[in-house]
C-alpha cells in the first residue's frame, strides 16, 4: 500500500449507486473502501464481492463503508448485489455514465476493453486516498489487503 500524494480536497465526482441515489465518492465524507471490478455476474468478481460481504461487519464496526464500482448500469448492480445477498452491506457504484469516469480518475480504467481494472482504494473521511490492491485481469485480490485498507481508512490500528 502506498499513499497517493496530493489527493486531499479533490474535485467532486458524483456517481449513481445501486439504490438509485447519487453520492460524491472522492471528496470528504465517511471513510470507505472502493473495490473496482470489471463486470457484474462474472466468476472472479462474484467471489471477490462475496468476500467483501464477509468483511462488511468488521468495516461497519470501524465506520468504513464498503463500495464496489463497475461500469455496469445501476439496475445491473442492484440485481447482482441482491442475488449475492450483500445489497444492504456493500454499496454498488455505477461508473456507467460518463463511462468509466471514476475509474479513469483513479487510474483504474482499461481503455482497450472499456471496463475497470482490478484496483482497490481506501479513502479517509477527509478525502485522502491510498491504493491498497491492484491485480491483473482474472486474478483475485486478497482480503488481507482490503482489511488493511479498511483499517487505514478508519485511521485505527489493526488488532
Q: Output the domain CATH number for residue 13.
A: 3.40.30.10
Q: What is the pLDDT of residue 158?
A: 82
Average pLDDT over every residue of 75-91: 96
Task: Give the sign of the dihedral formed by CA 142, CA 144, CA 30, CA 54.
Answer: positive
How sure is the predictor about 7, in pLDDT bands with cuts at 50, 70 and 90? Answer: very low
Domain assignment of residue 117, yes or no: yes
Mean pLDDT of 104-113: 95
Range of the domain at 28: 2-154
Question: pLDDT-derived band of residue 105, with 50, 70 and 90 as boundaries?
Answer: very high
Residue 159 lies in a domain: no
Q: Structurally, how many domains does the chain consist of?
A: 1
Is residue 22 within 8 Å of 15, Cβ to Cβ?
Answer: yes
Which three three-digit cell numbers place residue 106? 483513479
pLDDT at position 11 is: 60
* Stronger pLDDT, 48 or 1, i.e. the higher one: 48
User: Using 50, 70 and 90 to split pLDDT, how confident is the model at 118?
Assistant: very high
Amino acid at each position: 500500500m502506498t499513499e497517493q500524494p496530493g489527493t486531499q480536497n479533490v474535485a467532486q465526482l458524483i456517481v449513481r449507486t445501486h439504490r438509485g441515489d447519487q453520492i460524491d465518492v472522492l471528496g470528504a465524507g465517511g471513510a470507505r473502501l472502493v473495490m473496482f471490478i470489471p463486470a457484474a455476474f462474472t466468476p472472479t468478481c462474484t467471489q471477490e464481492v462475496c468476500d467483501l460481504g464477509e468483511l462488511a461487519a468488521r468495516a461497519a464496526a470501524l465506520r468504513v463503508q464498503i463500495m464496489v464500482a463497475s461500469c455496469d448500469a445501476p439496475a445491473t448492480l442492484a440485481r447482482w448485489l441482491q442475488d449475492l445477498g450483500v445489497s444492504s452491506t456493500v454499496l454498488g457504484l455505477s461508473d456507467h455514465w460518463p463511462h468509466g469516469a471514476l475509474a479513469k480518475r483513479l487510474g483504474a480504467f482499461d481503455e482497450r476493453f472499456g471496463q475497470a481494472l482490478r484496483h482497490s482504494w481506501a479513502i479517509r473521511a477527509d478525502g485522502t486516498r491510498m491504493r491498497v490492491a491492484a491485480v491483473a485481469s482474472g486474478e483475485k485480490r486478497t482480503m488481507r489487503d482490503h482489511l488493511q485498507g479498511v483499517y487505514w481508512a478508519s485511521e485505527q490500528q489493526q488488532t
